[in-house]
Amino acid sequence: MPADKYTRIVLTLIALFLGVIALRPLWRPAPVFAGVSASELYIEPGVYTLRAPDGSKELLGKVAIDLRNGKIWGFPTYNKTPYPITPARSEPPVSTPYLLGTFDLAALDK
């Protein structure tokens, strides 16, 4: 009979530890990340004149560099503030980026 008691204790402990593993996400859920993390996007401090490569646009705005592929994006702010302002609207404006150029990051490995 001692082997039967030992087996029951071991099986009970296994069941308890499995329950702890299964219920752990309730106490500490895993973090969720967006498509682009902060370490993959560099936003240049300051506001600059953004010129489209085809010459169609020239606006004030922020420069952002996607460190995954080297693409340089311009986010128009239309003025010297670091965020877009349009005084005629009551809702917050949305700045849609446009491609300014690309850094050839793969050439750094050569």
Average pLDDT over residues 22-36: 79
Reported as a single tens digit per residue, the pLDDT across 74-96 is 999 988 888 888 777 778 888 88
Average pLDDT over residues 11-35: 86
**Is 72 inside any structural domain?**
yes
**Is 63 inside any structural domain?**
yes
Expressed as residue numbers, the domain containing 103 is: 38-109
**Is 12 inside any structural domain?**
no
**Is 13 inside any structural domain?**
no
First to last CA, the chain: 72
The torsion region of residue 41 among left (phi > 0), alpha (psi -120 to 50) and beta comes to beta
**Is 82 inside any structural domain?**
yes
- Residue 105, pLDDT > 60, answer yes
Number of domains in the chain: 1
**Is 42 inside any structural domain?**
yes
**Is 53 inside any structural domain?**
yes
**Is 23 inside any structural domain?**
no
